[in-house]
Structure 1
Amino acid sequence: MADLFTIESIGNLVVLIFLQAVLGFDNLLYISIESARAPLDQQRAVRRWGIVIAVTLRIVLLFAMLHLLEALAEPWFHFDWTGVIEGAFTFSTLVFLAGGAFIMYTAVKEITHMLSMDHLHEAPDVEKTRTTAGAVIAMIVLMNLVFSFDSILTAIAITDVFPVLAISILASGAGMLLLADSVSEFLRKNRKYEVLGLFILLIVGVALLGEGGHEAHLKLFGYAVEPLSKTTFYFSIAVLVAVDLVQSGYQKRLDAERAREQARRD
C-alpha cells in the first residue's frame, strides 16, 4: 500500500482515471443501447447490475492479467498459409477479434432492424419483453470485459501497482453508474441519436478488429492488418457527430421553410 501514496502513483492514478473515462465512452454507449432490449420496468436495474458485476469481474481480470501476462502473451496457435492467411494468435488477440466481430454484428443487426421499421408495428410490450433481463445483464458483462482488455493492457503499460489500477477501475465504474441512466434516457427521447450511437459502435468494432489483427501480425492475402489509430478513431466519431448535428439543423430549417411556403399558399 505504500506504493499508493507516492507522487508517481498519484500522478498515474489521475492519468488512468482520465484514460478509463475516455475509453469507457463506447462501453457506456453499448450498455445504454443493449439495456433497451430488457423489459421496460427492469432496464434501470439491468444497467446497474450489469455495471456492478462487470466492474467486479474487471478487477478480477486485472489481478489475473498482472500475474498471467507473460503466459497470455504466448501464441496459442499459428496460421502460416503464405499469401492467404498468416498470423500468431494469443488470448488477447482472440478476445479483440471475437469482440470486434460481435460488436459489428450487433450494430449491423440493430441498424437493419431500424430500417425495416417492423418495430413500429409491433405491440407496445413485444419489443421490450423479447429479451430477458438476465440475458441482457450477461451480454453487458461479457462485452464490458471485451472493452476492458484494451483499457487494462494500456493501464498496465503505465503502472503495475494493483491498488492504483483498481481505484481507476472503480472510479470508471462509479462514473458509468452515474451517467448510464441519463445516457439511456437521452437516447430514448432522441431516437435518431441511437442510430448515431450504433454507427459509433460499428467503428469501435472495426477498431477492435484492427487492434487484434495487428497484435496477431495477421496478413490476409499478403496484406497486413493495420490498427486504427486513436486519432483517426476519434476524428471519425467527431465527423459522425458533426454530420448528424449539421443535418439535423438543416432539416429543421427546411421543415420551417416548407411550413412557411404552405402557410402562404393557404
Structure 2
Amino acid sequence: MLDWITSPEAWAALVTLTAMEIIFGIDNVVFISLVVQRLPPAQALRARQIGLSAALGLRIALLFALSWLIGLQQSLFSAFGHDFSWRDIILMGGGAFLIAKATHEMHAAVEGEDEPGEGVGAGEYAQRAFVSVVAQVILLDLVFSVDSILTAIGMAEHLAIMILAVIIAVGIMFAASGPLSAFIAAHPTTKMLALAFLVLIGMTLVADGFGMHIPKGYIYAAMAFSVMVEMLNVAAAGRRKRHVAARRAGGSQ
C-alpha cells in the first residue's frame, strides 16, 4: 500500500496534483476571504477554520466515493443539444449562486452595508451572520470540491497520494485566506475587484455546466493582470497619502 513512497513517479504525481489542487482552490480562497469581511476577527477566523475543514472533509469523502462521483458525470437528460449530468447541474447552481452573491455584495458596497433588522439585537445579528457565512462557504465547498476532484481523477494511481495532495493544498489555502482577507479589508477598492472575480468565476461555472469549457489558464491570467494593475493603484494611492501627510507635517512646523 505504501510502495509509492519509493517511486519517483508517485512523488512527481503528488507535486503535480498538489499544484493543481492549489490552483483550483484559488476560487475558494477568494470567496472565503470576501464573505468573512462582515464578521469580527475572532468569528472570521472560526468561519475560515470551519469552512476549510469542511472543504478538506468533502474532498477526502469524495475521494473515497470515486465510483459515485464518476457517476455524477452520467447523462440525466438532453436539452439545447447538450447532455446534462448531475455535475453540470451542480456547477450551474454554484455558478448562479456566486453571481447572485457577488452582485448582492456589490450592491451593498455601493449603497451601504446591511444593518441589523428591526427588533434584532447586535449579538443575534452577529450569530445569524456567522451561521450564514459558514453555510455559504460549505455550499461553495461542495461545488469546488466536485469540480476539483473530478479533474484530479486519473492524475494519480494511489488514493493516498490524492488525499495527501488535498491535505497540503487545503493547508496552503488556509494559510493564504487570512492575509488575503486582511488585505481586502485594508484596501476597500480591492473588494470590488475580488467581487468581479467571483462574477467571472460564476459565469465560467455556468458555462462549463452548459458544456462550454473555458480553460482556467485564461481566467487566472486575466485575474493576475487585474491584480497587478490594482497593486499599482494601491501603491500610487499610498504614495500620495504619504506626500500629503509630509506636506501637512511640514506646514504645521
User: Does TM, scored on the shorter chain, surpass 0.5?
Assistant: yes
- 2:36 is matched with which residue? 35
Pairing of 1:231-246 with structure 2 (within 5 A):
231-246=217-232
- Is the contact between residue 101 and residue 209 of structure 1 (CA under 8 Å) also seen in structure 2? yes
Mind listing any 5+ residue stretches in structure 1 that lack a counterpart?
80-84, 215-225
Question: Quick check: 1:162 aligned with 2:191?
Answer: no
Q: Secondary structure at the match of 1:17?
A: helix
- 1:219 is matched with which residue? none
After TM superposition, the score normalised by the length of structure 2 is 0.83
**Deviation for aligned residue 1:231:** 2.8
Mind listing any 5+ residue stretches in structure 2 that lack a counterpart?
249-253
- 2:194 is matched with which residue? 197
Identify if the C-alpha distance between structure 1 residues 178 and 245 changes in structure 2 by more than 3 Å, giving closer, same or farther.
closer
**Deviation for aligned residue 1:131:** 3.4
**Deviation for aligned residue 1:190:** 1.7
Q: Secondary structure at the match of 2:149?
A: helix
Once residues 47 and 97 of structure 1 are traced to their aligned partners in structure 2, the CA distance between those partners, rounded to angstroms, is: 24
After TM superposition, the score normalised by the length of structure 1 is 0.79
* 1:139-175 deviations in Å (ceiling 9; x for gaps): 2112112112222122113124211111111111211
Q: Secondary structure at the match of 2:81?
A: strand
Question: Quick check: 1:53 aligned with 2:51?
Answer: no
Pairing of 1:14-25 with structure 2 (within 5 A):
14-25=15-26
**Deviation for aligned residue 1:70:** 4.5
Once residues 257 and 103 of structure 1 are traced to their aligned partners in structure 2, the CA distance between those partners, rounded to angstroms, is: 40
- Is the contact between residue 21 and residue 166 of structure 2 (CA under 8 Å) also seen in structure 1? yes
**Deviation for aligned residue 1:24:** 1.1
* 1:51-72 deviations in Å (ceiling 9; x for gaps): 11221122101221x2224432
Once residues 109 and 154 of structure 1 are traced to their aligned partners in structure 2, the CA distance between those partners, rounded to angstroms, is: 30
- 1:142 is matched with which residue? 139
Number of matched pairs: 247
Residue 64 of structure 2 aligns to which amino acid in structure 1? Answer: F
